[in-house]
C-alpha cells in the first residue's frame, strides 16, 4: 500500500526551538508539498518541491524553510518556533505531470504541532 509517512503525529515544542518535521513517500513521486491547516483558513501551501534540491515558496513561507536532499524525503524546518506556528502540518506528494492527465495528491496523516 503506497503512502506518505510523517514522522510524528503529535509534537510539543518550546518557543524559539528549531523544529524538524519529516515526510517520506514511497511512490517515487517527483513533487512534494507542505501545507498547514488551521480552523477557518483551510489548507495553506507553505513550500513545495518538484525535484531533489529544488524548492519553491508557497503562499505562506515566512518562518519556514525546507530541505529535499533525497527524492523520497521532504523536510519542513521551523527555524525558531513561535506560538503562531501551532497548527496541523500536512505533507503531500504527487507524480510529475505527463500528458493529459494529472494525478491527485496523496497526503500524510498530519503532524499536530503545539508551540508553547
Partner 1 sequence: DAKTTQPPSMDCAEGRAANLPCNHSTISGNEYVYWYRQIHSQGPQYIIHGLKNNETNEMASLIITEDRKSSTLILPHATLRDTAVYYCIVRVVANAGKSTFGDGTTLTVKP
> Residues in the site for partner 1, rule: CB under 8 A?
4, 31, 33, 35, 40-45, 48, 50, 56, 58-59, 90-92, 97, 100, 102-110
Cell readout for 18 is: 528549531
Q: Least distance from C-beta 16 to partner 1, angstroms?
A: 28
Q: How far is the CB of 20 from partner 1 (least distance, A)?
A: 19
For residue 104, give the 3-state DSSP assignment: coil
| Residue number with CB closer to partner 1 (17 or 51) | 51
Name the residue nearer to partner 1 (CB basis): 52 or 102: 102
Query: Where do the DSSP E strands lie in 1-116?
Result: 4-6, 10-13, 19-21, 23-25, 31-38, 42-49, 56-57, 64-70, 73-78, 87-94, 106-107, 111-115
What is the smallest separation between the CB atom of 93 and partner 1, expressed in angstroms? 10
Which residue lies nearer to partner 1 by CB, 26 or 59? Answer: 59
15, 37, 78 from 92: Cα distances, Å:
26, 13, 18
* Cβ-based nearer residue to partner 1, 34 or 81: 34
d(CA 77, CA 97): 27
At its nearest, how many Å lie between partner 1 and the CB of residue 46?
A: 10
Amino acid at each position: 500500500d503506497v503512502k506518505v509517512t510523517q514522522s510524528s503525529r503529535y509534537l510539543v515544542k518550546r518557543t524559539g526551538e528549531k523544529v524538524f518535521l519529516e515526510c517520506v513517500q514511497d511512490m517515487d513521486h517527483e513533487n512534494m508539498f507542505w501545507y498547514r491547516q488551521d480552523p477557518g483558513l483551510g489548507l495553506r501551501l507553505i513550500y513545495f518541491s518538484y525535484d531533489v534540491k529544488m524548492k519553491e515558496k508557497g503562499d505562506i513561507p515566512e518562518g519556514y524553510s525546507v530541505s529535499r536532499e533525497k527524492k523520497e524525503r521532504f523536510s519542513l524546518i521551523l527555524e525558531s518556533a513561535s506560538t503562531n506556528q501551532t497548527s496541523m502540518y500536512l505533507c503531500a506528494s504527487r507524480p510529475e505531470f505527463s500528458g493529459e492527465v494529472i494525478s491527485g495528491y496523496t497526503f500524510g496523516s498530519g503532524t499536530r504541532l503545539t508551540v508553547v
